[in-house]
Amino acid sequence: MTDHSKESGDNTSSKSDIWTSFKMVQAAPVQSISKVFRKREELHKLVAEQILLANNRSYAPMKSRWITEVDGNVRRVMVPKKIKKWWMLLPNGKVQVSVYFKSKRLELENGKNAIEINVKSELVSTLESIQRSIDLGDFDGFF
């Protein structure tokens, strides 16, 4: 067997050039990485739901619910899920869009928790831009 290390008295110089070319770092815990991706995916789905709501005012996602009838029969029925709009139309015609995560409005910058757009027709494109920003990891610090 061939010894590829340089013969020397100290440990640091006994490594090969390939070994020294590696950038050594502390490994990130797998659990924290998966948490960030899970929260990012959840926020991504919430924004996708807002895009559907902005495109179609009659959009109502359904959820199943168990109800007990008067005669004691229990059955599952589909009921509309309550969704809160993330945007608000201002009296001057502009629109403010807030981002919510777990029913809390996110503070996007210090003291600022909404994005202002000029007209409602820009709402869907703004929500899509927010979605791309989430995918790029811009919202990871808000969780």
> In this structure, are strands 100-101 and 104-105 parallel, antiparallel, or unpaired?
antiparallel
Q: CB neighbours of 96 closer than 8 A, spacing ≥ 6? A: 87, 88, 90, 114, 115, 116, 117
Give the H or E element holding residue 35.
helix 30-55
Taking the whole predicted model, whether its pTM rises above 0.85 is answered as no
More confident residue, 78 or 30: 78
Q: Region 84-107: what's the mean pLDDT?
A: 93
pLDDT tens digit string along 117-127?
999 999 999 99
pLDDT tens digit string along 9-48?
445 567 788 788 888 888 777 666 788 888 999 999 999 9
